[in-house]
Amino acid sequence: MPERKRVAVLADSDTRWKWGATTARRLVPDHELTGYLLRGRATPTARQLGEVGVRAGRPTEVTCAEFLAEIGREHYDVVVLALVGGAVQAVLHGARALWPAPARRPVLVTGYVGVVYEKLADGLLLRHGADLVLANSRHDAERFRAVYEGVGADAGAVTETALPFLGGAPYEPAGSRAHTVVFAVQPSVPDSRADRAYLLERAAGHARKHPGREVLIKLRSKPGEHTTHLEEQPYQRLAERVRGGLPANCRLVYGNMGEVLDGADLLVTVSSTAALESLHRSIPTAVLTDLGIREALGNHHFLGSGCLASWDQLDAGLLPEGDPVWLAAQGVRPAGATSAGPAAGEDVAAHGPRTPGPSAPGPSAPGPHDHGPHDHDPYALARAKVAGLLAAARLPAPAPYYTLTTAPGYLPGILARHRLAPDGTPQPGAARSEAGESRLRRRLRTHLREAARGVYRHGVQRVAPLIRRLGEL
């Protein structure tokens, strides 16, 4: 019997952990997964990890240098880097320092957790050097290759796939049950207090205009928690200031997005990746135009999708449907078309009758999601590439585009932020060893770290907005 492959996933937020773990399952169906969280401002809480719907043990929190020491000491077949671009670049240079010549080393995989609508060149060049750079659609793959080829870099690592967590039961119209509208909010889009308050007021207004509908404000995090992006104006606090309060048929909910979509009849968002999850299930999906169609909002990505709409149009009864040509280019295969199939290694069970989303804010237990036939498997090419690399006796040293020759004024700063020297080796004292430390000392350090994070998050969500308002007087 072949030995199970060992896969390490390093993530820096809740959503990237979800992407990394599900990507690992797609790429290496029979594997032993070890999870790591890169220590930083967005390190997720246990509640956030439980909400993303990935069944795995609690990941170990590490620094970049500690992770490099781990993969240098322990043998892993595949390493999935579910990180922001700068952190990916740091790990790639650290890996190059570990294996400066052809050697038996892990296959390095990276990509994006969702819609790529900003910092395309910067983010891609920071990911160059991985063995596979996954693109979530044909559209993305073409753009990625164009960037690499435009600077004369090897584009062979770019591999077309799809979002690994697309799936779930196909949409069934509400029928006799209550019509459910899900407003999927985002931590930083829009970013101003006035714009966020406006969108919340419109969602509450939609509930008032349609008392027979249920409007769920799907939140990403609780106050004090952080996600991939900073949230200075949490909707929970804005909801406290809604004139007259939220109507009885409008409430805030947490939970796994897949489970919330199980009961949705309309998904509304500004530019969340949840729109692609919804469209994959053929749920009517609206990408809001109320604040304009702007690059800063990310909703420009949905031009041609057939989903752009305003709250006024939704109030009037519009239920937007995705354009098939646009969906195909984005790697989305709605219900009725062949699907990507379940993420390898997931427990999959048939759904019973569709039920409404969560009844109140609170943790949601992850549940299985059904998928359709898998005549078209968007991960087949990526799996074949990984299998070919694993079969090689030795792999060449990672070769990122950014070096001390191509980016001497940029690269050292990126590496220094992760306590790496310009040559990719850890700075003195960067990889702390806990060997010989007492349990009390380790627990004390953990509590101090959590307290420091709490102060930082309080500053972002409470102090910074206050100072900004004082500056506008």
Distance between CA atoms of 211 and 214, rounded to whole angstroms? 8
* Lowest-confidence pick of 22-26, 142-146, 170-174: 170-174
Q: Name the percent of the chain lying above pLDDT 70.
A: 79
Q: Which residue has the higher pLDDT, 269 or 336?
A: 269
Per-residue confidence (pLDDT) for residue 221, from 0 to 100? 74
Amino acid at 275: A
Per-residue confidence (pLDDT) for residue 193, from 0 to 100? 92
Tell me the HSE value of 233 on the side-chain side, using a 13 A CA sphere. Answer: 22
Per-residue confidence (pLDDT) for residue 244, from 0 to 100? 87
Per-residue confidence (pLDDT) for residue 230, from 0 to 100? 60
Q: Compute the average pLDDT of residues 285-310.
A: 97
Per-residue confidence (pLDDT) for residue 348, from 0 to 100? 31
pLDDT at position 266 over 80: yes
pLDDT at position 195 over 60: yes
pLDDT at position 405 over 80: yes
Per-residue confidence (pLDDT) for residue 376, from 0 to 100? 76
Q: Which residue shows structure tokens 């795995």?
A: 56
* Lowest-confidence pick of 158-172, 299-313, 324-338: 324-338
Amino acid at 98: L
CA distances from 461 to 50, 233, 440 (A): 23, 6, 31
Could you read off the pLDDT of 414-448 as tens digits, one per residue? 999 999 999 999 999 876 655 556 666 656 655 56
Q: Compute the average pLDDT of residues 103-112.
A: 98
Per-residue confidence (pLDDT) for residue 174, from 0 to 100? 77
Output the average pLDDT for the chain: 85
pLDDT at position 30 over 80: yes
* Lowest-confidence pick of 32-46, 288-302, 354-368, 397-411: 354-368
Amino acid at 158: V
Could you read off the pLDDT of 360-387 as tens digits, one per residue? 343 333 333 333 333 479 999 999 999 9
Q: How confident is the model at residue 472 (pLDDT cuts 50, 70, 90)?
A: low
Per-residue confidence (pLDDT) for residue 294, from 0 to 100? 96
Per-residue confidence (pLDDT) for residue 366, from 0 to 100? 33
Compute how many other C-beta atoms are within 10 angstroms of the C-beta atom of residue 72: 15
Residue 400's nearest CA partner among 119, 80, 160, 86 is 86
Could you read off the pLDDT of 343-359 as tens digits, one per residue? 433 433 333 334 444 43
